[in-house]
C-alpha cells in the first residue's frame, strides 16, 4: 500500500504506468470520482507494490526504492543477480520484498440508521471484513428504565455475515441531544437502574448481539461518581452474562477538564471498569463552530498523551472520523451550520470548482477553499489517505487496541484500503 499525491499536470494513465498498474484498477480500488479531471493534492492509494517492474529511462535502484518506500538493500536482496549499476531499459526486476507481519488491531464502527436514511446495508457491505465490531447507534433509555431502538434484525445478521460482532449502543439521547437529566434519572433510582440493566440483557439475548457500549454524554460533572457506579454495575452484570462491555468517552487532556461534555467522564475509572473504551477524538472542527480540521493530529495526540497515563493502552480505541465539513464564509457564531460531507464528496467539489486540495502538515489534514455559483466563499476540511495514515501511525506509536469510526454511511473507500494495508483485523 502506497499513497500518491496528484501533482500539477498529472493524469491517471501516467500515474498507473509509473506504478505498473492499470488505470482501471486504480479507479476501481480507489473509486476515484474524477478519473478524467484529477485535482492537484488529491490522494490515490496504490494497493500494492506490483511485480515485475520494467526498467524505464532514468531508473536506478535507489530511486525505485525511494519511490516505492523500500529499503535499497531489501530491493537488492529481492533481485539476486541483478547488477544495480547496470540496469537496462526494458529489463524486468522484482519490486516485491519481504515485509514484517502487519500488527493485529480491533476496529469498531458506529452506524446510525436514522442518519443514513434507513439504507444501512450498503455502508456495512462497503466496510466488508474490515471491522471487529459494528456498533448500532442507538438504543435510547427512558426515565422508566426501558430502552427504545431501531429495527435492527437485518443489521445484526449482516454484521455477523461479515464476521463482525454486533454491539448494542445504549445512550441518554432524548431525540434532540444527550440529556443530563435523563442520565441522572436512570442512574440515581435503584429500581430504574436495575430495570434498565435487565432490559439491556434481554435485548442482547433476544436480538443476537455480542456486546454492549454505553455512550452517556453531557452527564453533569456532579454526577461523576454516580456515572462511575452505574458503569461498574452494568459492567459486572454484562461480564457475568459473558458480554464484553465498553464505554465512549469525550476527548480530554486532563482529569478535571471543564465543560458539560467532559467533567463526568473519569478516564481512570472507565479504564478499570470497561473491557475497552472508545475515545471520541474528533469534532474539534464541528458543524456549529468555525472552520477547522475535524481530527487534527496535534489535538488527538494531546488526548492520547493523557489517556495512556490512566487507561491501559490495550483498552484504548482511538476515534476516527469518516466525514468532513463544508463551511460557508464568513463564519458567524450561531449562524447556519456547516454541511457534513464525505471525503468522496470533498474531492468531487474540488474537481467541479477547479481548485487544488491543500494539506496542513501540522494538523495532518486536507482542506481547500472554493467559490460557489452564488459567489459565496467556502472552506472545506475533510479526511484523505494521508490524514488517515497519520492517525494509524498513532495507533502503533501509542500501542493502542485499535480504532473506532464515526460513522458508516460517509463514502470513504480509501480509508479501507489504507486500513487493510496497515493492519490485520481481529475477528471474534
Cα separation, 243 vs 380, in Å, equals: 41
397 given a catalytic annotation:
no
Selection from 407, 260, 396 nearest residue 316 by Cα: 396
Cα separation, 244 vs 10, in Å, equals: 49
Number of separate helices (H) and strands (E) present in the chain = 14, 19
* Residue 368: alpha-carbon gap to chain centroid: 21
Helix axes 413-422, 385-398, angle to 10 degrees: 30
Number of Cβ within a 10 Å radius of residue 301: 15
Strands 43-46, 365-371: pairing is unpaired
* Residue 285: alpha-carbon gap to chain centroid: 15
Are 24 and 12 spatial neighbours (Cβ–Cβ below 8 Å)?
A: no
In degrees to the nearest 10, what's the CA dihedral of 405, 409, 410, 412? Answer: 80
- Phi/psi of residue 381, each to 5°? -120, 135
Q: Is 141 exposed, middle or buried (0-12, 13-18, 19+ CB in 10 A)?
A: buried
Cα separation, 67 vs 130, in Å, equals: 28
Number of Cβ within a 10 Å radius of residue 353: 15
Q: What does DSSP assign to residue 294?
A: S
* Catalytic residue from among 217, 222, 348, 397: 217
Selection from 188, 192, 185, 230 nearest residue 212 by Cα: 230
- Phi/psi of residue 69, each to 5°? 55, 45
Cα separation, 386 vs 402, in Å, equals: 18
Catalytic residues: 217
Amino acid at each position: 500500500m502506497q499513497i500518491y499525491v496528484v501533482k500539477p499536470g498529472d493524469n491517471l494513465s501516467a500515474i498507473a504506468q509509473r506504478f505498473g498498474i492499470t488505470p482501471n484498477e486504480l479507479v476501481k480500488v480507489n473509486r476515484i470520482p474524477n478519473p478524467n479531471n484529477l485535482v492537484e493534492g488529491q490522494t490515490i492509494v496504490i494497493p500494492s507494490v506490483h511485480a515485475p517492474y520494467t526498467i524505464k529511462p532514468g531508473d536506478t535502484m535507489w530511486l525505485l526504492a525511494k519511490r516505492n518506500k523500500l529499503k535499497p538493500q531489501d530491493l537488492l536482496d529481492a533481485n539476486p543477480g541483478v547488477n544495480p549499476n547496470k540496469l537496462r531499459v526494458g529489463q524486468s526486476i522484482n519490486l516485491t520484498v519481504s515485509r514484517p507481519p502487519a500488527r493485529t488491531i480491533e476496529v469498531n464502527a458506529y452506524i446510525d440508521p436514522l442518519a443514513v436514511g434507513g439504507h444501512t446495508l450498503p455502508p456495512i457491505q462497503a466496510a466488508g471484513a474490515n471491522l471487529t465490531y459494528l456498533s448500532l447507534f442507538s438504543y435510547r433509555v427512558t426515565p422508566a428504565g426501558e430502552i427504545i431502538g431501531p429495527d435492527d434484525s437485518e443489521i445484526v445478521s449482516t454484521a455477523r455475515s461479515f464476521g463482525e460482532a454486533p454491539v448494542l449502543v445504549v445512550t441518554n439521547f432524548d431525540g434532540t441531544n444527550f440529556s443530563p437529566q435523563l442520565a441522572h434519572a436512570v442512574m440515581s433510582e435503584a429500581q430504574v437502574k436495575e430495570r434498565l440493566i435487565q432490559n439491556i440483557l434481554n435485548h442482547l439475548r433476544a436480538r443476537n448481539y455480542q456486546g454492549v457500549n454505553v455512550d452517556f454524554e453531557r452527564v453533569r460533572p456532579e454526577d461523576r461518581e454516580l456515572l462511575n457506579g452505574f458503569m461498574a454495575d452494568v459492567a459486572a452484570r454484562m461480564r457475568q452474562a459473558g458480554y464484553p462491555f465498553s464505554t465512549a468517552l469525550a476527548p480530554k487532556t486532563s482529569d478535571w477538564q471543564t465543560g458539560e461534555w467532559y467533567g463526568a467522564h473519569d478516564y481512570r475509572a472507565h479504564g478499570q471498569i470497561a473491557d475497552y473504551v472508545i475515545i471520541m477524538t474528533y469534532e474539534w472542527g464541528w458543524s456549529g463552530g468555525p472552520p477547522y480540521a475535524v481530527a487534527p493530529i496535534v489535538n488527538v495526540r494531546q488526548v492520547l498523551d493523557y489517556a495512556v497515563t490512566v487507561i491501559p493502552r490495550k483498552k484504548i480505541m482511538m476515534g476516527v472520523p469518516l466525514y468532513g465539513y463544508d463551511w460557508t464564509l464568513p463564519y458567524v457564531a450561531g449562524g447556519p451550520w456547516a454541511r457534513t460531507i464525505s471525503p468522496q464528496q470533498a474531492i468531487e467539489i474540488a474537481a467541479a470548482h477547479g481548485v487544488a486540495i491543500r494539506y496542513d502538515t501540522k494538523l495532518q489534514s486536507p482542506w481547500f477553499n472554493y467559490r460557489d455559483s452564488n459567489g459565496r466563499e467556502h472552506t472545506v476540511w475533510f479526511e484523505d489517505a494521508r490524514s488517515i495514515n497519520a492517525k494509524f501511525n498513532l495507533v502503533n506509536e501509542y500501542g493502542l487496541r485499535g480504532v473506532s469510526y464515526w460513522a458508516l454511511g460517509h463514502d470513504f473507500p480509501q480509508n479501507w484500503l489504507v486500513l487493510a494495508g496497515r493492519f490485520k483485523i481481529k475477528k471474534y
